[in-house]
Amino acid sequence: MSLLTLLRSRFDSVLRSMADDTGPLLEMIRPAQDARFGDYQANFAMSLSKQLGKPPREIAAEVVSRLQLDDLCEAPEVAGPGFINLKFRSEFIAARITEIAGDDRLGVTPVDNPRHVIVDFSSPNVAKPMHVGHLRSTVIGDAICRTLRFAGHRVTSDNHIGDWGTQFGMIIYGYRHFRNDAAYAAEPVAELSRLYKLVNQLSDYHTAVQKLPVLKTVLEKAEKGVQEFQATLDAGDKKAQKQLAQLQRQAESARTELRACESTVANLQSDASLLAIADAHPNIARLAREETAKLHAGDADNQKLWDEFLPACLQALQRIYDRLGIQFDLSLGESFYNPMLPEVVESLKSKQLSTVSDGAVCVFIEGNRAPFIVQKSDGAYTYATTDLATIRYRHETLHADELLYVVDNRQSEHFQLLFQTAQHWGFEKLRMRHISFGTVMGADGKPYKTRSGDNVGLESLIDEAISRARRIIDENDNRRESPALSEEQRARVAEIVGIGGIKYADLHHNRDSDYTFDWDKMLATTGDTAAYMQYAYARICGIFRKLQIERTAVRSGCAVILSCSEERALALQLLQFDDAIRSVLSEYRPHLLTAWLFETADKFSKFYDRCSVQDAETEGLQKSRLVLCDLMARSLHTGLSLLGIETAEVM
Ligand code: ARG
């Protein structure tokens, strides 16, 4: 049961006679920032005062006099300019705790209107190794799926694998010309990804060589422009100064681009054997593009290679998902939609949504700078066309009510154009949302890379997390008088702490922000980390073991006594789980769940310091404290599991 919903519904009965739209007013009932003001505070009197032309305190007093809250709260207090302070009755809190002590859902009521939500996440491009950037989508997407399901929605997780993109033309070209058979036989995916990188590098080189003279001219012109302008400049003319600064900036950016190009060229030329290969393949970019086009047009040889490459690539991905405990209901890659693409473009044309511009079929939507290109001038369909086909399939065939795309924020414009186009195309009832996120940064403040500048592979990242966790667990356990863990247990705990650490570190940041990857913070056993929560869980299990009481035994028939403020604070916090889940789902922000977990763990540790379980004054009080302990453990377990993080009873 949501405490907020309960309070708001009581206020709603009163406010309905005072305002037409009570929604925004009810939003202003929130948990109090400071415990001195009670548990919750209602701040709507000030805004209602403007609507009704009465002083806010008078309004607050009137609302309070008509409120029916006796069964839930102490008498509400009107404070300051018209705040209404609310404090739950301790008997009410105790009774609710007793009720949810036996509830598997920990008091979380399923939503009234379940939706079918399709969550598109992870969605890596195959044949390029998955890296730390894909981790964010995978971890955030999985947490959102689990939370939606728990709340009672129908969820379909779909891995929209990039298995049809231009990388295949590059790989096919690379495979035909540069393959190392022994390497391919031993580790096909590693070899394919080497080929991809090589072809990419060679085409970048030729592009740079071609661009060099152009960039040089651009820079010369820009520099000349600056000089000429400077020669005639009137020092007192502010406007001219501004123009000069702008010209200088243009020259600077031309210089930067030229330098980047020069270094691409110089880097490759410094390697004689690579240069020989580059010289032998001057048209590599165009030829690779043609291989992609042939594949898309149904060329049998290229299709055969694709059929050969794909299973190995998918297997490599699956290995990572298995280790991370991630499951998909569907893995419909881009290739699945290929047969539908011509029809999508036809349909857009027939609805007169598209125009032809420079030979390309585009959808222009008012207010947007960029067109949405659905077919290029050479006839090729695009990422956009596939995404439109996907929307139609998900809505018409899979009957989704809502689509979520967990993809990094560099694709914001794509999704904005996609959703607008889809709405014009006839999907105005379908909810669509881009769940965007920031970049994982290294300690140097740049996107996280290995020392050699390569992307950090996910597989080695997972290995490292587990081996670092293992060291911490060994140290902890060896420090005990008699170590508690067997070899097998240590290995298992290292796995859940390592993987849980990676996931939690990602999820506890607001997804919009970039965050810095930091092993030590991630695996610390104190602070806002998975390990801290996991240890807290194991510690509570230990309390029961020591007293030789089954945890299930305290789930019914034990009265809850709130004898001090720490007990009360913890109990109230545990009752707010439902609200935490609701807040996560209102904007799909898993960090609101980690925030609740952290706050709960903090209240628990204050409770545990103050209130002895073992030496409780009476048997009744001990039972009551055990109820809180068990509920705490289950809240940790369930909360973490919604984030895809496991727990262990002994650590
Ligand atoms: N494969 C894409 C990438 O790695 C992400 C796909 C996201 N999903 C989508 N339906 N566009 O950039």
Q: Is 162 in the pocket of ligand 1 (CB under 6 A)?
A: yes
Confidence of residue 369 (pLDDT cuts 50, 70, 90): confident
Q: Which amino acid is at 643?
A: L
Report the alpha-carbon distance of residue 23 to residue 32 in Å, rounded.
Answer: 19
Please choose, from the candidates 518, 524, 522, the residue with its C-alpha nearest in 3D space to the C-alpha of residue 475: 524
Q: Tell me: the pLDDT tens digits for 198-235?
A: 999 999 999 999 999 999 999 999 999 999 988 888 87
The CATH number of 116-162+326-441 is which of 3.40.720.10, 3.40.50.720, 3.40.50.620, 3.30.470.20? 3.40.50.620
Query: Between 436 and 365, where is the model more confident?
Result: 436
pTM, full prediction: 0.91
Q: Is 120 in the pocket of ligand 1 (CB under 6 A)?
A: yes
Question: How many whole angstroms from 628 Cα to the centroid of ligand 1?
Answer: 44
Tell me which residue has its CA closest to atom 5 in ligand 1. Answer: 123
Domain with CATH 1.10.730.10 in the chain: 466-642
| The predicted structure's pLDDT at residue 454 | 67
Q: Is 107 in the pocket of ligand 1 (CB under 6 A)?
A: no
Confidence of residue 378 (pLDDT cuts 50, 70, 90): confident
Domain with CATH 3.30.1360.70 in the chain: 3-88
Q: Which atom of ligand 1 is found nearest the CA of 387?
A: 10
Question: How many whole angstroms from 435 Cα to the centroid of ligand 1?
Answer: 12
Question: How many whole angstroms from 407 Cα to the centroid of ligand 1?
Answer: 7
- Contact in structure between 571 and 628 (CB atoms under 8 Å): yes
Q: Look up residue 151 and give its two tokens.
A: 């709340």
Q: Is 124 in the pocket of ligand 1 (CB under 6 A)?
A: yes
- pLDDT of residue 337 exceeding 80: yes
Secondary structure, 3-state, 530-578 = HHHHHHHHHHHHHHHHHHCCCHHHHCCCCCCCCCCHHHHHHHHHHHCHH
DSSP output for 3-34: HHHHHHHHHHHHHTTT-S--HHHHHTEEE-SS
Instruction: Enumerate residues 6+ apart whose C-beta is below 8 A from 387.
Output: 414, 418
3-state helix, strand, coil in the chain (%, to 5): 60, 10, 30
- Contact in structure between 436 and 409 (CB atoms under 8 Å): yes
Instruction: Enumerate residues 6+ apart whose C-beta is below 8 A from 95.
Output: 560
Residues of the chain with pLDDT > 90, as a percent, come to 87
Q: Look up residue 174 and give its two tokens.
A: 């690379």
Class of domain 466-642: mainly alpha
Q: Which atom of ligand 1 is found nearest the CA of 383?
A: 11
Order of strands across the sheet that contains 40-42: 29-31, 40-42, 83-86, 77-79
Question: How many whole angstroms from 159 Cα to the centroid of ligand 1?
Answer: 9
Residue to mutate (ligand 1; options 123, 126, 132, 137; most atoms within 8 A of CB): 123
- For the chain, what is the mean pLDDT? 94
Class of domain 3-88: alpha beta
Q: Which amino acid is at 586?
A: S
Q: Mean pLDDT over residues 485-507, rounded? A: 97
- Contact in structure between 165 and 295 (CB atoms under 8 Å): no
